[in-house]
Every structure is written in structure tokens, then in C-alpha cells.
Structure 1
Amino acid sequence: MTPRQAPGAAEWQAVCRLEDLDVERGATALVHGQAMALFRTGDDTVYALGNHDPFARTSMLARGIVGLRAGVPFVASPSHRHGFDLRTGRCLDDPHVAVPAYAVKIVDGMVHVGRRLRS
């Protein structure tokens, strides 16, 4: 995926086309100089989290398993299976741990990633 700058919006970076993302699978991208994991769910919602797994201390969160836990979309770390809320980055298994979550919007079929969300 080749990052491109969205016209007129320096805080948003165009990353890829929505159709380039597989449903219920993660993909990695370098956005705003940060390694991110992008996830597309069955309803075409896209989430962006920091790709670093704080438990395994590796950059492989994008390889995790995507699912729902009590109605919360999450990704399970591939190493230790800790669940991270795709909306907020908060760990579902340890409330003291979180990964960065970023704003995402789809414009004309292109996925744009913006600023880090407050946790």
C-alpha cells in the first residue's frame, strides 16, 4: 500500500482503497510515520490501531484474529490472545493496557487515517 496525502487535509492520510482490505483480516501500513494495523469488518467499517502488541512486544497485531466479544469488535493478539477493542484500542483482558487507536474515514472508496483518538 502506497500512502498518499489526502488533498486539503494534512491530518488525514489516504492509505488504500476499501476493496484492498480483506474482511475480518488485518493489514499493515505506514501512516503518519507510524506502523498501523488496519481492520475491515463485515459491515465495511475500518479501524486503525497501532500495530505493536504490548504483551508480546512485537509489531504483529495485524496478524490477530478479528471477532466480536459481547458486541465489541476486537482483535486477538496472535501471540498471547489478549483482545483489543478495535474502536478504542483498550485491552479487553487488562483495562490498564491499550494500543493507540486512530480516526478512520472512507472517502470515495479510499481509506483515510487521521489523528490518534483519545483513550
Structure 2
Amino acid sequence: MAVARARSEWQEVCPLDDLEVERGVVALVHGQSMAIFRTQDGSVYALGNHDPFARADRTASIARGIVGMRAGVPFVASPAHRHAFDLRSGRCLDDGHVSVPAYAVKVVDGVVLVGQRLAAA
């Protein structure tokens, strides 16, 4: 009987120093397109990269959005429709019924690693 190899829970993405503050980058992690962000306070976040409001445009990229803070919540505003998504949970701050996937992130020895999808908040 063959034993299937489990996919590593954490995947290396890039050195932390390669991430510009408040700028998104796109990474392919576990076969999924993700937007990776580094904020002013040094936190790193990973969200699914597709803007759910851009239904007709499957190439709409959250990574190109504007990063900011709203009432203490770090967010990215989608470039096409300007909806704000909480970087911590992926929840849309403008429409609580919509979200993008959010993923666990950690930095080890200066390298950004992305893990499994976080549970919906």
C-alpha cells in the first residue's frame, strides 16, 4: 500500500526584506495565488489574491491594492472597486457578507512562510 506524502504545512515565500512596506506582492503558495503584505508595524499578512467584487475579471489582483488602517484595522482596498478587506481575516469592511481567504503567516530567520487557510471569522 502506498503512503501519500502530506504537503508541508508551511511554504517559504520570500525573505522578509524583499517585502516593501504597504505594498503587495503575488506569490503562488500551495497552488493558490496569494497577495502578501507587510505593514508599517512589521506584520505580514497573506490573502487570496482575487477580488470577489470583480466577477467578470478573473485577473483582478488584491495585491495591487492600497494598504491602510481603518479604526485600528489593517486593510487593503481592492484596486478595481476600492472595497476594504481586513488583512487579518479577509473580511470585507464594506460588506460583511463578503470575504477573501486569509492564511497563517510566520517569519522564521528572516524568511516569510505561509501556512494553512484561517477559519472564517
TM-score (norm 2): 0.89
Match of 2:10 in 1: 12
Match of 1:69 in 2: 70
Matched residues in 2 for 1:53 and 1:73: separation? 17
SS at match of 1:38: strand
CA shift for structure 1 position 59: 3.3
Matched residues in 2 for 1:34 and 1:22: separation? 21
More strand by share: 1
CA shift for structure 1 position 92: 0.2
C-alpha RMSD over aligned residues? 1.0
Please state if 1:47 is matched with 2:45.
yes
* Equivalent residues in 2 for 1:1-119, closer than 5 Å: 10-57=8-55, 58-119=59-120
Matched residues in 1 for 2:91 and 2:22: separation? 19
Q: Percent identity?
A: 75
Count matched residues: 111
Matched residues in 1 for 2:60 and 2:43: separation? 23
Matched residues in 2 for 1:114 and 1:64: separation? 22
Matched residues in 2 for 1:63 and 1:98: separation? 17
SS at match of 1:19: helix
- Regions of 4+ moved over 6 Å: none
SS at match of 2:54: coil
- Structure 1 unaligned segments of length 5 or more: list them: 1-8
Matched residues in 2 for 1:22 and 1:92: separation? 24
Give per-residue Cα distances to partners, 1:43-97, cap 9 Å, x unaligned: 1110000000000133310000000001000000001100000000000000000
Matched residues in 2 for 1:44 and 1:71: separation? 15
Matched residues in 2 for 1:59 and 1:82: separation? 13
TM-score (norm 1): 0.91
Matched residues in 1 for 2:42 and 2:108: separation? 13
